């Protein structure tokens, strides 16, 4: 007897043997038990996931001598002949061959009225049905909608979107999914034990990943490696025969990118070429490593998931994950995905690979836009998380100007109705003395209004953009020796959240100005409460009289200068009164 490949020898014969498609198999089993059997089915999904096999099992279940049953016996003549593809009442048609309307009319339509020779149902299994022409689909429409009671259509396709909606609406559509690598590896382990093949789990996992969710592809690769190595297979045999990229090389490249070691990246690319690796496959493996690192950065408990981390590279991946931010991983994945497409059509794929690694190093130096808008105070690199260090401590930060003494504190006047757009520093009424609140030594010696002026002046000098876009939007700011409160209205969620994100930095500025640790409160306030008056800005220059050069006067305004720092333009003009 001729050799039978593993993919055919171990093809599922029962619904329980179909891997990873529990939703589909349970639906079909329940339909058989309740005798609610549709007259047309469409099985859609990627290659090698069990579509045509499920159609054959369903045909056996319908025509078994004990059926219709969810558990065909596999011993009667219909079960045996359908499994071997020679049952006269079960016609398996390749739509890629019988694509014309004449073939459909001759093979299917003209035989519909003929009763089954032996079986209970006449079954038409149309494989790759999306290959039929438009006229062939039109010829099938009436037959699919109202077939004779003894006829059942089963159509399999890998491209569901190519089937007309008129056909789909007349059929039950069951979508198959790719099979997880762990499920495929477990099945390969069972087959290896039955075939008396020695193979380590790592080698079987490589075979499972090579199949990319297709059980048939993994079994075909298993057959190929078996032909090379015999019944004793090693991991090196799988890598050599299938041309897979070793995980060590991939992780070495990521190490070189993290260290910004361009010579090492070039050397590793050279090593990959010397080993004969396909650079498209190398780029794909780098993308997979990026995906694995991103999953671990979100949930490190997934380190025990074999679909994410293999036993041999768990320690290296866990060491790498702390050296990449999530933004870098997302950008790196997109970059490598594009690089794979560029390499696919390039005459010099090596150049594209090397430039992709250099671009990946450069991307790690980018600063998030949100950090720049908030003053560039060295925010953390994990999804824009703010840093605790004030801008004055960062390299290149502007020196803090001297804080002018404010005038004597004025009494707080009643405010007009409606919230104040900005709350710049200004004198405020001193808070009443409280015996139960500790007083900061640095702030106790000055009036509360002067302390508030000094604090806001320090905030403005450290982060002018953050001050204008967030602090100045506060409905009320209270600063005295008992603590600091930034109050926002309920509709000011964005500035309040940004203030919350920078709480650590604000706390540092408060300690610097007060000379002691004071509580910082960021709260919502009632819109009916009177906001603080808006006195002159203590650090703003005096505005020039309007009667002079209006453009010069406008450009010297502090708010305009801040906007020009964030959005520099070459030409400016002043319009309006």
Convert 495-530 into a string of H (helix), E (strand) and C (coil).
Answer: HHHHHHHCHHHHHHHHHHHHCCCCCEEEEECCCCCC
Instruction: Report the relative pairing of strands 90-94 and 40-44 from DSSP bridges.
Output: unpaired
* 3-class secondary-structure state, position 546: coil
Q: Which helix (H) or strand (E) holds 286?
A: helix 279-298
Looking at per-residue pLDDT, the higher value among 570 and 224 belongs to: 224
- C-alpha to C-alpha distance for 181 and 200, rounded to whole angstroms: 15
**In-domain check, residue 556:** no
**The predicted structure's pLDDT at residue 59:** 94
Q: What percent of the chain has pLDDT over 70?
A: 76
Instruction: Among 41-45, 340-344, 401-405, 497-501, name the most confident range.
Output: 41-45
**The predicted structure's pLDDT at residue 406:** 36
Both 58 and 145 in one domain: the answer is yes
Q: Note the Cα 321 to chain centre separation in Å.
A: 16
Angle between helices 215-229 and 235-242 (to 10 degrees): 110
**In-domain check, residue 355:** yes
- Structural tokens at position 157: 């396709």
Instruction: Report the relative pairing of strands 483-488 and 520-524 from DSSP bridges.
Output: parallel
**The predicted structure's pLDDT at residue 548:** 46
User: pLDDT band at residue 378, thresholds of 50, 70 and 90?
Assistant: very low
- Structural tokens at position 363: 């991307």
Bond preceding residue 68 cis, omega within 30 of 0: yes
Among 335-344, 476-485, 565-574, whose mean pLDDT is lowest? 565-574
- At 315-351, the pLDDT tens digits run 888 888 888 888 888 889 999 999 999 998 888 899 9
- C-alpha to C-alpha distance for 410 and 449, rounded to whole angstroms: 8
Q: How many helices (H) and strands (E) does the chain have?
A: 25, 8
Q: What is the CATH number of the domain that holds 71?
A: 3.40.50.300
Total structural domains in the chain?
4
Strands, E assignment, 179-294? none
Q: What is the CATH number of the domain that holds 210?
A: 1.10.8.60
| Mean pLDDT across 514-537 | 69
Both 92 and 205 in one domain: the answer is no
Both 238 and 253 in one domain: the answer is no
Residue 48's closest CA among 162, 218, 181, 166? 218
Backbone angles phi, psi at 146, to 5 degrees: -135, 70
**In-domain check, residue 510:** yes
- At 160-171, the pLDDT tens digits run 999 999 999 999
- C-alpha to C-alpha distance for 249 and 286, rounded to whole angstroms: 10
Q: Note the Cα 118 to chain centre separation in Å.
A: 53
**In-domain check, residue 553:** no
Both 345 and 376 in one domain: the answer is no
Both 425 and 497 in one domain: the answer is yes
Instruction: Report the relative pairing of strands 122-127 and 476-480 from DSSP bridges.
Output: unpaired
Instruction: Among 62-71, 106-115, 388-397, name the most confident range.
Output: 62-71
**The predicted structure's pLDDT at residue 559:** 67
Q: Is residue 174 within 8 Å of residue 27, measured between CB atoms?
A: yes
For residue 279, count CB atoms less than 10 angstroms from its CB and return exposed for 0-12, middle for 13-18, buried for 19 or more.
Answer: buried
C-beta atoms surrounding 280 within 10 Å: 18
**C-alpha angle 114-116-119 in degrees, rounded to nearest 5:** 170
**In-domain check, residue 411:** no
- C-alpha to C-alpha distance for 164 and 171, rounded to whole angstroms: 11
**In-domain check, residue 576:** no
- At 183-200, the pLDDT tens digits run 999 999 999 999 999 999
The dihedral over CA atoms of 536, 540, 544, 550, expressed in degrees to the nearest 10, equals -110
Both 384 and 526 in one domain: the answer is yes
Among 106-120, 257-271, 459-473, 546-560, whose mean pLDDT is lowest? 546-560
**In-domain check, residue 547:** no
Q: What is the CATH number of the domain that holds 283?
A: 1.20.272.10
Task: List CB contacts of 503: < 8 A, sequence separation 6 or more.
Answer: 520, 522
Going from the C-alpha of 447 to that of each of 337, 427, 519, 520, 551, the distances in angstroms are 61, 9, 18, 19, 38
Instruction: Report the relative pairing of strands 90-94 and 172-175 from DSSP bridges.
Output: unpaired
Both 354 and 496 in one domain: the answer is no
Both 44 and 75 in one domain: the answer is yes
- C-alpha to C-alpha distance for 444 and 153, rounded to whole angstroms: 88
**In-domain check, residue 559:** no
Taking the CA atoms of 192, 196, 198 and 201 in sequence, report the sign of the dihedral they define: positive
- Structural tokens at position 160: 């569901």
Domain boundary among 200, 225, 242: 242
Domain boundary among 193, 210, 242: 242
Both 25 and 171 in one domain: the answer is yes
**DSSP-assigned states of every residue in 349-404:** HHHHHHHHHHHHHHHTTPPPHHHHHTT-----SSTTPPPSS-GGGSTTPPPPPPPP
**The predicted structure's pLDDT at residue 441:** 45
Residue in the structure block whose two tokens are 């105070």: 377
Overall size of the chain counted in residues: 577
**DSSP 8-state code for residue 68:** S
Both 231 and 253 in one domain: the answer is no
User: pLDDT band at residue 226, thresholds of 50, 70 and 90?
Assistant: very high
- At 405-458, the pLDDT tens digits run 333 333 333 333 343 334 444 444 444 433 333 344 444 455 666 778 888 888
- Structural tokens at position 392: 């004055």
Both 158 and 43 in one domain: the answer is yes
- At 122-150, the pLDDT tens digits run 999 999 999 998 888 988 888 898 889 99
**The predicted structure's pLDDT at residue 190:** 93
Beta-bridge partners for 41? 154, 172
**The predicted structure's pLDDT at residue 145:** 87
Boundaries of domain holding 208: 181-242
* 3-class secondary-structure state, position 173: strand
- Structural tokens at position 352: 């594209």
Q: Is residue 107 within 8 Å of residue 91, measured between CB atoms?
A: yes
Residue 228 has pLDDT above 70, yes or no: yes
Both 10 and 159 in one domain: the answer is yes
**The predicted structure's pLDDT at residue 189:** 93
């Amino acid at each position: 007897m001729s050799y039978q490949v593993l993919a055919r020898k171990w093809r599922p014969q029962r619904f329980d043997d179909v891997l990873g498609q529990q939703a589909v198999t349970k639906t079909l089993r329940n339909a058989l038990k309740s005798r609610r059997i549709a007259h047309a089915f469409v099985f859609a999904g990627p290659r090698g996931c069990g579509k045509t096999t499920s159609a054959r099992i369903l045909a056996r279940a319908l025509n078994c001598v004990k059926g219709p049953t969810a558990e065909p016996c596999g011993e009667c003549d219909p079960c045996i002949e359908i499994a071997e593809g020679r049952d006269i009442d079960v016609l398996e048609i390749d739509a890629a061959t019988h694509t014309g309307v004449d073939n459909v009319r001759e093979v299917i339509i003209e035989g519909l009225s003929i009763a089954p020779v032996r079986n209970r149902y006449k079954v038409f299994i149309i494989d790759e049905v999306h290959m039929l022409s438009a006229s062939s689909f039109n010829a099938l429409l009436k037959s699919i909608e109202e077939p004779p009671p003894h006829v059942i259509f089963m159509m399999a396709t890998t491209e569901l979107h190519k089937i007309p909606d008129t056909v789909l609406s007349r059929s039950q559509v069951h979508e198959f999914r790719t099979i997880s690598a762990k499920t495929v590896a477990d099945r390969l382990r069972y087959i290896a034990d039955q075939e008396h093949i020695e193979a380590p789990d790592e080698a079987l996992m490589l075979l499972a990943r090579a199949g990319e969710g297709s059980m048939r592809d993994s079994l075909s690769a298993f057959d190929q490696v078996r032909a090379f190595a015999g019944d004793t297979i090693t991991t090196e045999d799988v890598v050599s025969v299938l041309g897979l990229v070793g995980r060590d090389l991939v992780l070495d490249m990521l190490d070189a990118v993290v260290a910004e070691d361009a010579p090492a990246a070039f050397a590793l690319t050279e090593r990959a070429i010397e080993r004969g690796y396909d650079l498209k496959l190398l780029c794909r493996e780098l993308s997979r490593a990026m995906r694995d690192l991103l999953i671990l950065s979100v949930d490190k408990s997934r380190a025990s998931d074999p679909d994410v981390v293999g036993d041999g590279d768990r320690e290296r991946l866990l060491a790498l994950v702390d050296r990449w931010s999530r933004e870098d991983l997302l950008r790196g994945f997109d970059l490598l995905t594009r690089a794979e497409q560029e390499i696919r059509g390039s005459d010099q794929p090596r150049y594209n690979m090397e430039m992709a690694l250099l671009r990946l190093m450069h991307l790690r130096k980018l600063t998030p836009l949100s950090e720049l808008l908030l003053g560039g105070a060295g925010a953390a690199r994990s999804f824009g998380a703010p840093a605790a260090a004030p801008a004055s401590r960062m390299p290149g930060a502007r020196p803090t100007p001297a804080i002018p003494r404010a005038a004597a504190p004025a009494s707080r006047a009643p405010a007009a109705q409606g919230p104040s757009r900005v709350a710049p520093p200004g004198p405020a009424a001193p808070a009443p003395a409280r015996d139960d609140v500790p007083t900061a030594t640095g702030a106790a010696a000055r009036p509360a209004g002067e302390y508030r002026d000094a604090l806001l002046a320090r905030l403005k000098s450290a982060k002018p953009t953050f001050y204008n876009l967030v602090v100045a939007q506060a409905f009320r700011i209270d600063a005295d020796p008992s603590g600091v409160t930034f109050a926002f209205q309920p509709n000011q969620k964005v500035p309040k959240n940004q203030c919350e994100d920078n709480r650590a930095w604000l706390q540092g500025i408060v300690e610097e100005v007060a000379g002691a640790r004071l509580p910082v409160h960021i709260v919502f306030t009632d819109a009916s409460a009177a906001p603080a008056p808006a006195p002159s800005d203590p650090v703003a220059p005096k505005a020039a009289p309007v009667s002079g050069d209006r453009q010069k006067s406008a450009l010297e305004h502090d708010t305009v200068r801040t906007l020009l720092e964030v959005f520099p333009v070459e030409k400016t003009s002043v319009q309006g009164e």
